[in-house]
């Protein structure tokens, strides 16, 4: 009997041991992982917002719901990039729920159920609802479609019901934020004195002569900057140089490049697909099923590649053409003729002349300038050259005014579209076109057309075979196993001329890419791992089409900003200061006119003039926009000359040769409107920054993802 009792006792212990073992087996990853309690990190908070800790499990639950909604709406699984975006969305939602909610409650802001109904199916429909239930053909909103959808909502699958509930929640949150921002926006106020000051800054004109010695006139190599000088500058300007948690790495990459055999295999596959495309009863379905890149069946000439544009004019309906190679992709086309589109496409260039301000006199001056340029073009001057030097649209100016292809669907402002699409053929629009942006001079470079080419396309990209990938990995692995320190890393690179060392400076902890390398999150996580020390060499990491071996070469800490964190910027600042001291010492006490002073100074000193410039937009030829120099100049009386002073990028002596004060006006409303609009346009951004700053947000997501 005693023996039986002993067995029972022992069996109880055995059962307990087995149970504990099973629990450890099941949850071992959670308990023993790098972020676990027993793995050395019992902090399971993904961050903190307004004093509230966010548990990783709560965050993951919210993320899972968003992911389910996304997949229910799109009908496909979320990829890595989508998950990264959803993770960011989940975090921002938490910021709104916690930090913003406090502000809403202080003001008693809310969105009632009746208001939500009005937004969804009432008299004040939300733009999001209008977009979701717009007619796919005409774009027109149909309220009855919303009503019918809601009537049938309970019969829809549960994921769709949950998705709609989440959508309505987002409508409430968006409306709350709009209310809050509108309160702040309505509080924007500009005084008459501020309006008058802006008017004077824009309309007072000055003419200057100035001596300018740019910093670049002294070679950097002749100015030695010491660490003690850098340290002193940093200590004096610490509020300008905020610390950050970053890492710097050097790395070598082993590219997975398709081999010759891979290209031959794909070329043979393309020829087989060409025969299949030629005989397919439904060529568009066949093309979609076999193409690596989805391409439209109907293409406008504007949307074609340059190679296809050149070839398509020789195609015969029913024919199969190709393969054409562009980069690593082969294309084959089956041509089925043309059809007409409801929209026209054209290509044009423009020169934009924008008035300096909304006043009638400024508009008249801009019109006069635009007409002068138009007359030059009529006389044979180059439109492209004049666009590069005169257009107020910097994006197109550097391309000679080219705006590319566009359609008559509202993508351009209406007066511009009307002018382009009223042209038959190409050439200069022989008049000025005025829009809210200013005066446009327009040249149609590709005539309007509504012809669509019906082309079934199969695109196949050369992909490396598994053997090619294995060979690249073998080389990377051999390299990683042969080096354990930075010195060994450098020595191994010297021995292999095929390897190139790249540097990624100051990578933030949340980075997903390194330089041009996509999906490099694992490299970043390694660099920020507490166990990774300076000069440690990594294992092999696989990224998009290459393998990476990295060495950690630098760390910065947000709480300990050091000279090395900002060495290049600090060196440039201190070197400029030392150059300014040299130039000032050489100019100090100089007398005579500016030419005499420049001659005495010697090489590097420039004497230039600036005519009829304003304080708001003044531009100096060699010095560019220099607010210090402009401020000094507009503080002078006519005929006065400043002493030697340091500007943004050099040292000056400025003389005011002429000044025309802005005439008195009775109404400063246009300038008040300008200032108010500028402030209002920044309300959303500034509000978001202020709330986040006040919430003292700590984002630790990078420790988990």
238-264 mean pLDDT: 86
Can you give 273-286 as a three-state secondary structure string? HHHHHHHCCCHHHH
> Which phi and psi (to 5°) does residue 340 adopt?
-100, 140
420 CB-near residues (< 8 Å, 6+ apart): 346, 348, 408, 412, 429, 442, 444, 448
pLDDT higher than threshold 60 for residue 162: yes
Q: What DSSP state is assigned to residue 577?
A: H
249 CB-near residues (< 8 Å, 6+ apart): 503, 504, 507, 514, 523, 527, 550, 551, 552, 553, 554
Per-residue confidence at 42, pLDDT binned at 50, 70, 90? Answer: low
- Give pLDDT, residue 680: 87
Q: Please report, for the chain, the start and end positions of each structural domain, with discontinuous segments joined by +.
A: 2-42, 113-186, 205-242+567-660, 246-257+465-560, 259-463
650-663 mean pLDDT: 95
Tens-place pLDDT, residues 53-73: 999 999 998 898 888 878 877
- Give pLDDT, residue 669: 92
More confident residue, 136 or 159: 159
Compute and round to an integer the Cα radius of gyration of the chain: 34
606 CB-contact burial (10 Å; exposed 0-12 / middle 13-18 / buried 19+): middle
Q: Are 165 and 153 in contact (CB under 8 A)?
A: no
Query: In sequence order, what are the beta bridge partners of 460?
Result: 330
Tens-place pLDDT, residues 91-128: 988 998 899 988 899 999 999 999 999 999 998 898 88
pLDDT higher than threshold 80 for residue 661: yes
Mean pLDDT of the chain: 87
Tens-place pLDDT, residues 408-437: 888 899 999 999 999 999 999 999 999 988
Per-residue confidence at 82, pLDDT binned at 50, 70, 90? Answer: confident
Distance CA 666, CA 284 (A): 68
Torsion on CA atoms 5, 10, 15, 17, rounded to nearest 10 = 160
Distance CA 668, CA 688 (A): 31
Q: Which helix (H) or strand (E) holds 208?
A: strand 205-214
- Give the residue carrying structure tokens 């002018």: 419
More confident residue, 46 or 136: 46
Query: In sequence order, what are the beta bridge partners of 320?
Result: 334
More confident residue, 1 or 385: 385
Distance CA 157, CA 163 (A): 10
CB atoms within 10 A of CB 374: 21
Claim: this prediction has a pTM higher than 0.85? no
Tokens coding 402 = 């080219």
pLDDT higher than threshold 90 for residue 462: no
Helix (DSSP H) and strand (DSSP E) numbers for the chain: 25, 18
pLDDT higher than threshold 50 for residue 24: no
Fold of 205-242+567-660: Chitinase A; domain 3 (3.10.50)
Closest CA to 201 of 610, 625, 611, 614: 614
Tokens coding 660 = 């025309």
- Give pLDDT, residue 23: 35
- Please state which architecture CATH assigns to domain 246-257+465-560: Roll (3.10)
Among 13-17, 71-75, 211-215, 505-509, the minimum mean pLDDT is found in 13-17
Tens-place pLDDT, residues 575-624: 999 999 999 999 988 888 999 999 999 999 999 999 999 998 888 989 98
pLDDT higher than threshold 80 for residue 206: yes
pLDDT higher than threshold 60 for residue 480: yes
Fold of 259-463: Chitinase A; domain 3 (3.10.50)
Per-residue confidence at 19, pLDDT binned at 50, 70, 90? Answer: very low
- Give pLDDT, residue 138: 66
First to last CA, the chain: 58
- Give the residue carrying structure tokens 């996509």: 518
200-212 mean pLDDT: 95
270 CB-side CA count, 13 A: 24
Among 205-219, 339-353, 460-474, 521-535, the minimum mean pLDDT is found in 460-474
Per-residue confidence at 391, pLDDT binned at 50, 70, 90? Answer: very high
Q: What DSSP state is assigned to residue 624?
A: B
The answer to whether the Cα torsion of 524, 526, 527, 528 is positive or negative is positive
Q: Are 624 and 649 in contact (CB under 8 A)?
A: yes
User: Could you check whether 205-242+567-660 and 259-463 share the same CATH topology?
Assistant: yes
CB atoms within 10 A of CB 250: 19
Closest CA to 309 of 273, 264, 345, 268: 345
Distance CA 64, CA 58 (A): 10
pLDDT higher than threshold 50 for residue 651: yes
pLDDT higher than threshold 50 for residue 30: no
Tens-place pLDDT, residues 483-526: 999 999 999 999 988 899 999 998 999 888 999 888 899 999 99
């Amino acid at each position: 009997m005693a023996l039986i009792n002993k067995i029972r006792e022992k069996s109880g212990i055995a059962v307990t041991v087995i149970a504990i073992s099973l629990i450890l087996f099941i949850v071992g990853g959670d308990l023993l992982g790098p972020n676990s309690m027993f793995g050395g990190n019992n902090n399971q908070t993904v961050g903190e917002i307004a004093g509230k800790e966010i548990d990783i499990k709560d965050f993951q639950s919210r993320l899972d719901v968003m992911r389910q909604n996304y997949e229910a709406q799109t009908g496909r699984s979320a990829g890595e990039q989508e998950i990264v975006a959803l993770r960011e969305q989940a975090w921002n939602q938490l910021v709104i729920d916690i930090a913003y909610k406090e502000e809403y409650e202080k003001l008693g802001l809310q969105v009632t159920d009746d208001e939500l109904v009005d937004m969804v199916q009432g008299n004040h429909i939300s733009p999001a609802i209008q977009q979701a239930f717009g007619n796919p053909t005409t774009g027109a909103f149909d309220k009855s479609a919303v009503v019918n959808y809601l009537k049938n909502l309970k019969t829809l699958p549960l994921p769709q019901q949950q998705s709609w509930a989440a959508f309505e929640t987002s409508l409430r949150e968006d409306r709350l934020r709009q209310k809050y921002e509108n309160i702040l926006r309505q509080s924007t106020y500009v005084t008459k004195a501020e309006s008058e000051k802006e008017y004077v800054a824009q309309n007072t004109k000055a003419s200057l002569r100035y001596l300018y010695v740019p910093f670049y006139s002294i070679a950097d190599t002749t100015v030695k900057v010491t660490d003690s000088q850098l340290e002193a500058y940093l200590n004096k300007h610490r509020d300008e140089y905020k610390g950050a948690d970053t890492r710097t790495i050097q790395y070598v990459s082993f590219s997975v490049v398709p081999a010759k055999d891979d290209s031959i295999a794909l070329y043979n596959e393309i020829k087989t697909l060409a025969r299949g495309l030629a005989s397919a009863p439904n060529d568009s379905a066949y093309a979609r099923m076999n193409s690596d890149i989805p391409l439209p069946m109907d293409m406008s000439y504007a949307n074609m590649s340059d190679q296809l544009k050149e070839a398509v004019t020789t195609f015969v309906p029913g024919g199969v053409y190709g393969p054409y190679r562009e980069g690593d992709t082969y294309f084959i086309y089956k041509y089925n003729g043309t059809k007409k589109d409801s929209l026209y496409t054209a290509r044009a260039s423009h020169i934009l002349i924008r008035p300096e301000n909304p006043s009638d006199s400024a508009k008249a001056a801009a019109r006069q300038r635009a007409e002068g340029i138009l007359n030059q073009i009529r006389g044979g001057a180059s439109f492209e050259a004049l666009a590069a030097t005169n257009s107020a649209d910097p994006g197109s100016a550097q391309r000679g005014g080219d705006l590319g292809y566009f359609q008559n669907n509202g993508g351009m402002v209406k007066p511009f579209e009307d002018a382009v699409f009223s042209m038959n053929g190409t050439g200069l629009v022989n008049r000025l076109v005025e829009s809210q942006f200013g005066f446009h001079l327009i040249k149609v470079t590709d005539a309007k057309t509504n012809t669509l080419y019906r082309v079934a396309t199969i695109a196949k990209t050369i992909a490396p075979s598994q053997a090619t990938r294995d060979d690249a990995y073998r080389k990377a692995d051999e390299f990683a196993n042969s080096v354990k320190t930075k010195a060994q890393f450098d020595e191994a690179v010297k021995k292999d001329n095929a390897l190139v060392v790249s540097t990624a400076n100051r990578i933030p902890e949340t980075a997903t890419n390194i330089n041009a390398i996509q999906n490099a999150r694992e490299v970043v996580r390694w660099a920020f791992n507490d166990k990774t020390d300076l000069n440690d060499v990594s294992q092999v990491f696989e990224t998009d089409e290459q393998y990476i071996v990295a060495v950690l070469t630098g760390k910065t800490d947000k709480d300990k900003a050091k000279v090395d964190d900002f060495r290049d910027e600090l060196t440039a600042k201190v070197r400029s200061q030392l150059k300014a001291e040299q130039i000032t010492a050489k100019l100090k006490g100089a007398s005579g006119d500016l030419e005499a002073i420049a001659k005495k100074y010697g090489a590097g000193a420039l004497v230039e003039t600036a005519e009829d410039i304003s304080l708001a937009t003044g531009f100096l030829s060699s010095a560019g926009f220099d607010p210090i120099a402009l401020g000094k100049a507009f503080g002078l009386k006519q005929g006065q000359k400043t002493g030697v002073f340091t500007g943004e990028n050099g040292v000056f002596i400025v003389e005011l040769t002429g000044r025309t004060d802005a005439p008195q006006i009775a109404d400063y409303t246009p300038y008040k409107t300008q200032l108010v609009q500028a402030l209002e346009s920044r309300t959303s951004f500034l509000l978001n920054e202020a709330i986040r700053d006040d919430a003292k947000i700590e984002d630790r997501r990078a420790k988990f993802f």
